[in-house]
Structure 1
Amino acid sequence: MALINTIREKSGWAVGAIIIGLLLFMLGGDFLYGRSSIFGKNDLTVGEIAGEKVEYDQFNATLEQAKQAFIQQQQRQPDEQAMGYLRDQAWNQTIFRIAFQQEFDKLGLKVSDEELTDMVQGNNVHPSIRQAFTDPATGQFDRTKVIEYLRNLDKLPPQAQDAFRNFEVNLGPERMAAKYNNLLKLSTYVTSAEAKRFDQGQNTRATVRYLMVPYFALSDSSVKVSDEQLQAYLDKNKGRYKVEDGRTIEYVSIPVTASAEDSATVRKTVDELATQFASAPVDSAFVKLNSDQPTSPAFLSPADMPEKLRAQLPLQVGKVYGPYAENGTYSLYKVSGQKAGAQAAARASHILIKPEGTTPEADAAAKAKATEVLNKIKAGADFAAMARQYGTDGTTATGGDLGWFQQGRMVPEFEKAVFGATSAGLLPAPVKTSFGYHIINITAPKTTQTYQVATVQKSIQPTDATRDAAYQKAQALKGEATSLETFRAAVAKDKSLQKVEAKGLGRGDQAVNNLQGARQLVRWAYGVNPEGEPTQVGDVSEVFEIGDQYVIAVLTGERTKGTADVASVKPEIMALVRNELKAEQIMKKLNASKGTLEQIAQAYGNGAQVKTAEGVVLGQGLIPGLGNEPVAVGKAFGLKPGQKSAPFAGEQGVLIVEPVSVQPAPAATDVKAVRQQLTAQRTARTDGLTYEAIKQHANIKDNRTKFF
């Protein structure tokens, strides 16, 4: 309470209070933490950061702060997925608190009571205070309201008092972090020479001719890559393949799906509801009482109706339609009224013939083609078959069917033709729009008729008996699978089971492939098995219930933090090493030829191509039409016009470059502006780079999987 007491000493009494609960939300408890362990045991630690152990209750205090902020913002309790994100947030905050505090101490950074007071009611008010005590009508910050609030804080509800005390705890560390980051940001400096070089790099351009033989010109089978070569490549490029802890598992999912008997049971219930629905005096009340997804009755045009109900048009008022089964749900529809709607709806199919260009000749050719196809349909050809054969848009797979649509959803020329028709049938001539020429078949002419529809839906859910049967199947598999070998054998024996592999699971992962909410499975892979021993490769898990399925897994691999092993990155580095070997072959063959680029390409044979790229920028690694080729750009600007480089390995193949002309950058007219631009770019990256650098050197040990 040091801050409050200091402020009270400096402030006069006032009356009234303003709710300041939003302050906790805005800060999120980034720095609040506890000191004692609720377990009282030193070995029950969540982790270790920069040599300091993080006790469970310390971490849980920070997590609770994040959780309360989430509840205030979202107005709901966090689900398990959200809790996973909040745990990561709390862990990052803990890293910041411990690792950064050591940096603050090294520099002797402090925050005085005077500074804290100034952040609440002085000349440098904290943004959260300013927002909370700004008059919405005038937009003016009212310092007296802050004083009133603090003078009456003890009289406010406990929640409001806790909110401000948490905010007070946060002020000092936040101010300290701002000082530290500003020290680094203000040390960012760009010289005039750097600015000039940057400006030249962005504005010097060249026209470059190049010969390229892409790596894919040689078949992969023509190059053999040994394990020794892969390991040598990895040893040479260790910095590119740093990894965190990882686990690899194989697992089987046994879904809990409704059986035919379950569906029949729900169908019987829905049939009974259909009879009751027909005589229900108040449709909305019946829907609310009986539907799994109750919605209010609404007037629907044919364009907005479910397809199975639309197939029954015209509908009869008072009649119940269904039940219809779709996507695991039985649906009943009762029509309780009808009226003319504000917008017309129609249904049509079309065949779009697009011009192959923007010239008058291309337009005339498209029109002639559309007329030809239309005449075939008039002569008896099937419209849908013609749409699949000649259509040029996304409706070809459905025979050109556009379904029902309301007026106002299509381009004007198309709508005029469709909604101008008075009956179903093929329109006599192609219709031109900005997309091309349309051959149109009206399958349902325009109508403004709408129907008031009440809907009752019942989900087809598995019964307890079905769920028990799936669980028993999972337990039977667990009984057979006691090791990796027996697990694989048991799965192979049952053709209804499918084994899936998940590689490189991280400690904090919430999902395993498509299994959402699979945190318990990840914890098992990193944690302790049922016998109380650390999970080892070959251990088989217990039966986990994840969503609507039972899952059994076996741990097949472990990866420790550091450099990846060859096996885990083999597909990636295999391609890179293969390209290196291909490059050696291609360069050897290219070096055997002399002359112009065209002569060298002709001597090389198939695969070699010569092209010209204009507007190649010195300060960028791109060659227009080719892509990212930084080495090629560097070599091109290192040669005089007309000089050829030797063959070299690029990103996509082996190249020889030859600059045609170079346009130097004009002299920079505003070096100061360029310096400011570069300084702003570097400063913007400072916070993130600082955090990552300190985190990297904090020797972090993350044991959260023991608890969460």
Structure 2
Amino acid sequence: MAVLSKIRQRSLLVIAIVGLSLFAFIIGALIENKGFGTGTRNAGTINGVDIPFEDFRIKVDNAQKSQQGVTMMQATNGVWEQEVRRVLLEGQYEKLGLRIGDDQLINLIKEDPQFAQNPQFLNAAGKFDKAKFNEFIGSIKNSSPERWQQWLAYEKSLSQFAVEQMYNTMVKSGFYTTQSEGKFNYELENNKVTFDLVSVPYSTIDDKKVELTNEEVLAYMKKNEKKYKAEESREIEFVLIEDKPSAEDEKAIKDKVNALMNSSVVYNATTGKNDTVAGFRNTTNVIDFVNTNSDIKYDSTYIAKKDLPVEHAEAIFNTPQGGTYGPYMFGDYYCISKSLGKKSAINAKASHILLSYKGAARSQATRTKEEAKAKAEELLAQLQANPGSFAMLAFTNSDDSSKQQGGDLGYFSKGQMTKNFENFVFGNPVGKIGLVETEFGYHIINVTDKQDGIRLATIAQKIIPSEATSDAVFTKATKFEMAANEKDFETAAKDNKLTIAPLAKVLALDENIQGIGNQREIVRWAFSAKEGEIKRFNTQAGSVVARLKKINEEGLMPIEDAKNAFGMKLRNEKKAKLIEVKMTGTTLEAVSKATGSPVKEAKDVAASGSFIETIGPEPKVVGTAFSLKTGVVSQTIAGNSGVFKIKVKSTVKAPAVKDYNEVASRVNSQSKGSAAGRVYGALRKNADIQDNRAEFN
């Protein structure tokens, strides 16, 4: 009774604390949002079109349900991109007056195999019957509101897809490549220039000799503001105090699992006597015993030795029926296993040579069925005389991709292969070679191995931190949080012998933090906290004490990030000036002597690739080569990899052709292929988008 009274007292205290906390939370939220319902209720606005939060949330929920393993933020971002695309394209459809009419919709539905091939919607002649279809839709509308809504959603998605295809077709129709453009591209690809060159790579000058100031970086960014604009971000430093099992915790789990092996004596309150409860070794109801005591339920599957824990495989597999093994560690679990018997040939291994023929399943062969059979019988005779040649004959004759492995299919179990193939492999001894016909053609099969399996009843209990260990982690994290608030974060970490993780930079919609994974709660906090603020978080890995080190507002990217983005380009521009001073001389030989760089030949270089062998792509250099007269030494050219001087030896123009339709057609096809993506990219770039996603996640 005393224990129950204490539990009740603690329960009342907890209820009171939760009630006060909930009240404080609600009031805080109201204050933050400046009252009841006055905050934004839109997930965003795209060119003046609001995306209501409730509609957006429902779509995100549906996306998460339909895509297994997708996180909330991944679903949110996917739906947001869909909404942006929908609004931008619908704006274009409206301007152009594009829409899908009822008759067009019916035609689209008729093309869907689930309707077009459904006998329910076909007439006596086997044609799609619109009246029968409309009768079906009417019955859904009248009998099932939920199915009716699903149908309307299907119609809407079908219409959206169709109108987008119509729009893309119109966009593509606007692209046309002329004969002149075809000729230009033909010459770009086929005109060749050969020239000598001297190049001094930028890497010959140490970066320390070309200082890059913050002022220079900032000036370059201001000239290219759109290119180097950065989103609002936060920089977080944190300490992770892992909540992991101690050595004592591991031993406690091992002892607990081991104790299940033997019978135990327990007091029976009903009879007032002690009862002996059977242990794992002598229980008569193994399955119930496992399901009662294990974190992983009983599995009746037979297991091959190769699939058992490596260190214990031999001992477990050789455990006699009814015998037990363990405890042993497997991953994060302590286990004990009981053998429930073995079964022969649960897996088999085989090699094959497939001879397919025209008309066989998935076949690209042109031979007839009769020719395939004759060839298979010929190969079978060779293999029966010389079984060692199987791999080579498979490589040179098989129509299956396994030919690359000499026909080896690896191990497989029953149900994985087509029936005739399976029957032969599992019905014949290892070493048997024979001929089998399946829907794929004729197979010459070599049975190479078989594996027996063991059925195990396994009790597995996860090795987790004890309450005492978790309490110690919580206490340590709390003390560190208090010390970090009183002292300097770095000093407090050093005093407590804790390691500060590398600085993490996050954007408003991020959810992952390197080292601790999905931590959306910490990201949200970072965007509401003040610089220097510290907070402790409970995570699956343990306690995280985080400090908001820096707030980066939207604008030009930070100087250090900018140096990483284009610092090399600015340094190379400075290096080019230093190199140009050295490249004196009116001949390449004189330039070579002055710089110590050899004269090299670039042979038959085309303008389209601008690729110089052993150097790489150099469009400025190749462009200059096509503009120079033969024998003339160029001025210095600051290229991608260094500074160049060149002298053209010869320019060969491609022979003229009767017409350039083939080239024009290829260029036109490439242009049309990327048209839809480029048009949407332009619409997205020029759209007025207000993104409020971060407020709801």
Do they superpose with TM above 0.5? yes
Equivalent of 1:213 in 176, 200, 206: 200
Note if contact 2:328-2:334 (Cα within 8 Å) is conserved in structure 1: yes
**Equivalent pair of 1:234/1:566 in contact (CA under 8 Å):** no
Letter in 1 for 2:496: D
C-alpha displacement at 1:200, in angstroms?
1.9
Shift of 1:553: 2.3
Contact in 2 for aligned 1:271/1:323 (Cα 8 Å): yes
Confirm or deny that 1:549 pairs with 2:542: yes
- Match of residue 234 from structure 2: 247
- Confirm or deny: 8 A CA contact 1:308 1:324 kept in the other structure: no
State the alpha-carbon separation in 1 of the partners of residues 669 and 42 from structure 2. Answer: 41
Distance 1:134 1:116 in 2: 19
CA distance in 2, matches of 1:289, 1:609: 80
Aligned with residue 614 of structure 2, among 597, 602, 625: 625
In the alignment, what sits opposite 2:144?
157
| Cα pair distance change 1:610/1:539, threshold 3 Å | farther
Distance of 2:338 and 2:196 partners within structure 1: 72
Superposed CA deviations along residues 476-529 of structure 1, whole A, max 9, x for unmatched, are 33333349x7333322332223233112x2222221224332222222222x3x
Bigger Cα displacement from structure 2, 313-322 vs 235-244 = 313-322
The residue that corresponds to 1:125 in the other structure is 108
User: In 2, Cα distance between the equivalents of 1:465 and 1:583?
Assistant: 65
Partner-residue secondary structure (3-state), 2:621: helix
Distance 2:187 2:454 in 1: 69
Would the aligned equivalents of 2:304 and 2:452 in 1 still touch at CA under 8 Å? Answer: yes
Amino acid in structure 2 at the alignment position of 1:517: N
How far apart, in 1, do the equivalents of 2:282 and 2:531 lie?
A: 64
SS at match of 1:693: helix
Aligned residues of 2:588 and 2:599 also touching (Cα < 8 A): no
Which of the residues 317, 320, 326 maps onto 1:317? 320
Q: CA deviation at 1:119?
A: 2.5
Number of equivalenced pairs:
548
2:574 paired residue number: 581
Residue 59 of structure 1 contacts residue 90 of structure 1 at CA under 8 Å; is this kept in 2?
no
2:261–2:281 Cα contact (<8 Å) kept: yes
1:667 aligns with 2:656: yes
| 2:304 equivalent in structure 1 | 300
- Which residue does the alignment assign to 2:480? 477
**Residues 237 and 500 of structure 2 are in contact (CA less than 8 Å); yes or no, is this contact kept in structure 1?**
no
Letter in 2 for 1:193: S
Q: Which amino acid aligns with 1:134?
A: A
Aligned to 2:495: 493
Distance 1:130 1:48 in 2: 35
- What is residue 215 of structure 2 aligned with on the other side? 228
Q: Is the 8 A contact 1:339 1:449 kept in 2?
A: no
SS of the equivalent of 2:654 reads coil
- Measure how far apart 1:209 and its partner are: 4.1
Native 8 Å contact 2:340 2:454 kept in 1? yes
Residue pairs, 1:101-112, within 5 angstroms = 101-105=90-94, 107=95, 109=97, 111=99
Aligned to 2:176: 189
Bigger mean CA offset, 577-586 vs 641-650: 641-650
- Residues 408-557 of structure 1 correspond to what in structure 2 (within 5 A)? 450=452, 452=454, 454=456, 455-482=458-485, 486-503=488-505, 505-526=506-527, 528=528, 535-540=529-534, 542-557=535-550
| Aligned equivalent of 1:50 | 47
Give unpaired runs (5+ residues) of structure 2. Answer: 1-35, 263-278, 350-402, 408-447
Alpha-carbon distance change, 110 to 646 in structure 1, aligned in 2, over 3 angstroms: closer
Classify 1:660/1:506 alpha carbon distance in 2 versus 1 (closer, same or farther; 3 Å): farther
Distance in 2 (CA, whole Å) between partners of 1:667 and 1:460 is: 77
For the residue of structure 2 that corresponds to 1:330, the secondary structure is strand
- Of 270-279 and 511-520, more deviation after overlay is shown by 270-279
SS of 2:108's equivalent?
coil
| CA–CA separation in structure 2 for the residues paired with 1:218 and 1:666 | 44
Q: 1:134 aligns with which of 116, 119, 127?
A: 116
**Is 1:268–2:255 an aligned residue pair?**
yes
| Distance in structure 2 (CA, Å) of the matches to 1:626 and 1:280 | 76
Q: CA–CA distance in 1 between the matches of 2:686 and 2:130? A: 43
Match of 1:418? Answer: none
Distance in 2, matches of 1:501 and 1:565, equals 15
Tell me the distance in 1 between the aligned counterparts of 2:131 and 2:162.
23
- On the 8 A contact 2:229/2:556 being kept in 1, the answer is yes
Q: CA 1:557–1:69 in structure 2 vs 1: closer, same or farther (change >3 Å)?
A: closer
Alignment partner of 1:698 is 2:684: no
User: 3-state DSSP class of the match of 1:133?
Assistant: helix
Q: Distance in 1 between matches of 2:474 and 2:214?
A: 44
CA distance in 1 between partners of 2:462 and 2:477 (Å): 25
Match of 1:84 in 2: 73
Give 1:545 deviation, angstroms: 2.8
- Give deviations 1:15-70, integer Å, cap 9, x for gaps: xxxxxxxxxxxxxxxxxxxxxxxx8536444333324554xxx2331442353355
The runs of 5 or more residues in structure 1 that have no matched partner are: 1-38, 346-407, 413-445, 529-534
Cα RMSD, aligned residues only: 3.9
What's the secondary structure of 1:160's corresponding residue? Answer: helix
Q: Secondary structure at the match of 2:502?
A: strand
Secondary structure of 1:197's counterpart equals helix
Whether 1:558 aligns to 2:551 is yes
After superposition, give the CA deviation of every residue in 1:151-204 in whole Å (9 maximum; x if it has no partner).
323233222111122344556666655555444332223232222212222233
Instruction: Give the CA deviation at 1:220.
Output: 2.3
Give the Cα–Cα distance (whole angstroms) in 2 for the partners of residues 340 and 611 of structure 1. Answer: 70
Paired letter, 2:198:
L
- One-letter code aligned to 1:47: G
The AA in structure 2 aligned to 1:493 is D
Aligned equivalents of 1:447, 1:688: Cα separation in 2: 52
In structure 1, give the amino acid aligned to 2:46: I
CA distance, structure 1, for counterparts of residue 343 and residue 165 of structure 2: 65
Give the Cα–Cα distance (whole angstroms) in 2 for the partners of residues 126 and 509 of structure 1: 40
Q: Following the alignment from structure 1 to structure 2, what is the Cα–Cα distance between the partners of residues 539 and 450?
A: 61
Give the TM-score normalised by the residue count of structure 1. Answer: 0.68
Would the alpha carbon gap of residues 287 and 463 (structure 1) be closer, same or farther in structure 2, given more than 3 Å must change?
same
Which amino acid in the other structure matches residue 108 of structure 2? V
Is the Cα–Cα contact under 8 Å of residues 491 and 497 in structure 1 kept in the other structure? yes
Cα separation, 1, equivalents of 2:450 and 2:157: 62
**By how many angstroms is 1:257 displaced?**
0.9
Give me the identity figure in percent: 27
Q: CA–CA distance in 2 between the matches of 1:337 and 1:555?
A: 59
Q: Distance in 2 between matches of 1:40 and 1:223?
A: 58
* Superposed counterparts of 1:632-643, under 5 Å: 632-643=621-632
